[in-house]
Structure 1
């Protein structure tokens, strides 16, 4: 169902700022209220952060995350949004699978989860001067496609990448396929959402058509929005660090032979199916105030909570199935595509 804003575009206030904050893991289960609303279980496993009103069905007409959530796993306690991605598994030579753990950044004590960014300019531009329009209640979107399995398909998503981390500070180079060598610190999955909006629809049937990437260049290079999507949004960047260190010495010959042993919970061993979902849920006008604050990373106008409180926020499992330990098959019995990497 397509939802429309009542406010005219001319009444939307320009904003600029950059937020960077950790969100602990809320749940890991086979639910996807955006792509498969009401379906329990959904096709493949997801890891979710944010507000605890995450559910099988989240109808935007009745499901106000900020009002229905009683806690959030995010550092900013006014952010009840939900963010989720697929889950990474290690596939052994005998065909069994084991879930790859997530590790927090910045040596924090957050349990799993991811780092979330909202920005108006390139990540390391401390000025953050560009004008953007903050998201509105009911806004939701999806980036990537769980069915993609080759490079040509994935070119549609310019900024879904992986970083093979040497240490905690590694941010380059980035690739659009899984790393083809063992990564000493882990694999970072980077999800940059589209930053241009049609200015009318808070969602679209495929959760993609109401947003777009810049017409040319990228958000970081200041690329212009297409005429069909003229409203510039903050860029949401999700960084998830998958702690692959414990698997680097197992079946080490895989990488040497041109293979790689990791697979998404969707059954993709190429990396091209990477995707992420976002459902807006900031309380009142908290995000608007933060983006109006002219700040870089710090946000004194927002309420924060400690890591222990973040880690305590959970939702009950609605799907009864094993997801940990050595599994004979992926949750949902998703078949795995050919393991070999093709350049």
Structure 2
């Protein structure tokens, strides 16, 4: 398996930390406290992990997630952050929808859905992790991606939002910007890598993106320098979300025209609108202590909890509606008059 190979190779002592951990599902609900704070319900459905203080508001400066949460669905017991993406649906030939569930990644097969989270100081395959980064601060929040994007050119503004069609659980390449066009035997993995350069001042910005930047030249992987406007180097936050497509891989159930049948909960059938949200919530200085440790995945300063504890943390849905887990829906939640964006970007 790919991950076993990576950990086996990580024998040379790193200078700083890289961590990878699993998180179970906290809730699947039509709330978005970052883009639509206080709005119940928000326009489209999300799947959320992390601390159980997640709610519809979470106003900046007034929400200490570590203090207000009593549990977290993530493996690190001091991480009460919230991480979320849109939910994914399968659209049948007759136009009805069913939600595609998530499954645990390699090493976290016992988790109840959720995702895998990384904090990196260098690229994943760099076992030395020599770069020094400043951990995110209390009150920090950001998002990446644009749900309105429906062309590759628009999606390319965010170069590290991709899909992997899993042939098995070790598949990691190739990555595409659009939804896979063929059935994926082990599922569709959605990869979200956030920008790593911070302006050093603002914990948020009106669009939740502008206080962060990509390197001025090169990439995070090539250790490209941060621009002068965003000089502070932060960890690269990365999500891997594996959607279990086994019940939807029969090509006879796919559209007669041969197009792919998956659609985001906001109506995007291209895949170009992929996006993710993050609200920081690590307790005290726990994340900085981990980042300063010379470790690779297995970090002594990262306190962890059992899988059963992760799975037992949950919050109740605030929006009372059928989200298509057991029934086929005639329309996507919150999208009654929406026109689906097709694979070619048209509507």
- TM superposition score normalised by structure 1: 0.93
SS at match of 1:135: coil
In structure 1, what is the equivalent of residue 305 of structure 2?
A: 305
In structure 1, what is the equivalent of residue 80 of structure 2?
A: 80
SS at match of 2:252: coil
Provide the aligned length of Structure 1 versus Structure 2.
Answer: 328
SS at match of 1:66: helix
TM-aligned CA deviation for residue 60 of structure 1: 2.2
In structure 2, what is the equivalent of residue 163 of structure 1?
A: 164
- Return the match for 1:327 from 326, 329, 332: 329
In structure 1, what is the equivalent of residue 48 of structure 2?
A: 48
| Alignment gaps of 5+ in structure 1 | 1-14
In structure 1, what is the equivalent of residue 134 of structure 2?
A: 133
CA distances 1:97-156 after superposition (whole Å, capped 9, x unpaired)? 000010101252100000000000010111000121111000000100111111111111
Contact 2:97 2:328 in 1 (8 A): yes
Contact 2:266 2:335 in 1 (8 A): no
Aligned mates of 1:183, 1:62 — CA distance in 2: 43
Aligned mates of 1:102, 1:241 — CA distance in 2: 6
In structure 2, what is the equivalent of residue 5 of structure 1?
A: none
In structure 1, what is the equivalent of residue 200 of structure 2?
A: 199
In structure 2, what is the equivalent of residue 273 of structure 1?
A: 273
SS at match of 2:190: strand
In structure 1, what is the equivalent of residue 340 of structure 2?
A: 337
In structure 2, what is the equivalent of residue 211 of structure 1?
A: 212
Contact 1:258 1:340 in 2 (8 A): no
- Greater shift in the superposed pair: 161-170 or 216-225: 216-225
Cα 1:61–1:253 shift into 2, 3 Å: closer
Cα 1:336–1:189 shift into 2, 3 Å: farther
TM-aligned CA deviation for residue 89 of structure 1: 0.1
Aligned mates of 2:252, 2:45 — CA distance in 1: 25
Aligned mates of 2:238, 2:198 — CA distance in 1: 16
In structure 2, what is the equivalent of residue 11 of structure 1?
A: none
Aligned mates of 1:136, 1:228 — CA distance in 2: 19
CA distances 1:174-200 after superposition (whole Å, capped 9, x unpaired)? 001101111111100000001000000
Aligned mates of 2:312, 2:252 — CA distance in 1: 36
TM-aligned CA deviation for residue 265 of structure 1: 0.1
Contact 1:145 1:275 in 2 (8 A): yes
| Mapped pair 1:16 → 2:19 | no
Name segments (4+ residues, structure 1) moved above 6 Å: none
| Alignment gaps of 5+ in structure 2 | 1-14
In structure 1, what is the equivalent of residue 71 of structure 2?
A: 71
Aligned mates of 1:160, 1:56 — CA distance in 2: 26
SS at match of 2:276: strand
Aligned mates of 1:236, 1:48 — CA distance in 2: 16
Contact 1:261 1:339 in 2 (8 A): no
